Amino acid sequence: MNTSVLVLEDGRVFHGTPYGAEGETFGEMVFNTGMTGYQETLTDPSYHRQIVAMTAPHIGNTGVNDEDPESKRVWVAGYVVREPSRVVSNWRANRSLDDYLKEQGVVGIAISGTRALTRHLRERGAMRAGIFSAPTEPVEELVERVRQSPRMEGADLAAEVATAEPYVVPAIGEKRFTVAAVDLGIKGMTPHRMAERGCEVHVLSATATYEQIMAVDPDGVFFSNGPGDPATADVSALRGVLEAKVPFFGICFGNQLFGRALGLSTYKLRYGHRGVNQPVQDVRTGKVEISAHNHGFAVEAPLDGPFDTPYGQAEVSHVNLNDRCVEGLRLLDGRAFSVQYHPEAAAGPHDAAYLFDEFCEVMSRAQA
Give the residue from 310, 298, 292, 286 showing the smallest Cα distance to 352.
Answer: 292
Is the Cα dihedral 215, 258, 198, 72 positive or negative? positive
Give the residue from 291, 162, 274 showing the smallest Cα distance to 224.
Answer: 162
Reduced to 3 states, what is the DSSP secondary structure of residue 124?
A: helix
Helices 236-243 and 253-261: angle between axes, nearest 10 degrees = 70
Residue 32 annotated as binding site: no
**Residues acting as catalytic residues:** 252, 342, 344
Residue 256 annotated as binding site: yes
Residue 253 annotated as binding site: yes
Reduced to 3 states, what is the DSSP secondary structure of residue 218?
A: coil
Residue 65 annotated as binding site: no
Q: What single letter denotes the amino acid at residue 119?
A: R
Residue 277 annotated as binding site: no
**Environment class of residue 279 by beta-carbon count within 10 Å: exposed (0-12), middle (13-18) or buried (19+)?**
middle
**Environment class of residue 91 by beta-carbon count within 10 Å: exposed (0-12), middle (13-18) or buried (19+)?**
exposed
Give the residue from 340, 60, 26 showing the smallest Cα distance to 152.
Answer: 26
Is the previous residue joined to 349 through a cis bond, with omega within 30 degrees of 0? Answer: yes
Distance CA 226, CA 245 (A): 24
Residue 46 annotated as binding site: yes
Binding-site residues for L-glutamine, in ranges, read: 46, 226, 228, 253, 256, 294, 296-297
Q: Give the residue ranges of the annotated binding site.
A: 46, 226, 228, 253, 256, 294, 296-297
